[in-house]
Amino acid sequence: MARAIYILSWSVTIFAILSVVSHAFGAPWGLDAIHGSSMEPLITEEDVVIVVPYIPHLMRDPSIGDIIVFRNDKAGCMVMHRIHEVLSDERGFITKGDNVPVPDQELGMDLVRPDDIEGFVPQILGWPLMIPKIGILTHTFAKLAPNLRNYLSGFILIFLVISLVLDSRRIMGFRDGK
């Protein structure tokens, strides 16, 4: 058990480093705080979701129901919405927030092309991988230090990792009789 905790702590450490680096370059990979209510009630502003980079050549094609993160040039930001419809002629995808009555494209957004997709939110049995309620810290921090908002998730994760590493060393020490 101690070995599993030790391996988990180092895996999380690597994830934390990748998260901080990707946010520094403006990519949404790693942990991402939610802004807005368009994905409620499944994902709220109080949540932080795990976003995995979308690599088209290594992954299956996006399908209806997938939660993707894409660049919206009209809004000048990243958007996290669900794929509502896949267009058969490979022009792209129609997207929609769970809490929005109509698709994004009826609200003036362009079709989402495959190259617009920056990442996706992994789901297990329809539930996104996320850390509930930690977004409260992210939004509070963003108000206090707006320039550092992109780094907060990484800082929180690194703090958690340090505690995991220290705890796993303590556990490994007990196991070895030290």
At 53-83, the pLDDT tens digits run 888 888 888 999 999 999 887 777 789 999 9
Q: Which CATH superfamily is domain 2-175 in?
A: Umud Fragment, subunit A (2.10.109.10)
> Which residue from 69, 17, 12, 77 is spatially nearest to 43, judged by alpha carbons?
69
At 127-141, the pLDDT tens digits run 898 888 877 776 777
> Which residue from 38, 31, 11 is spatially nearest to 122, judged by alpha carbons?
31
Residues belonging to the chain? 178
Alpha-carbon Rg of the chain, whole angstroms? 18
At 16-55, the pLDDT tens digits run 677 767 766 767 777 777 788 999 999 998 888 888 888 8
pTM over 0.75: no
At 141-165, the pLDDT tens digits run 767 776 666 566 566 666 666 766 6
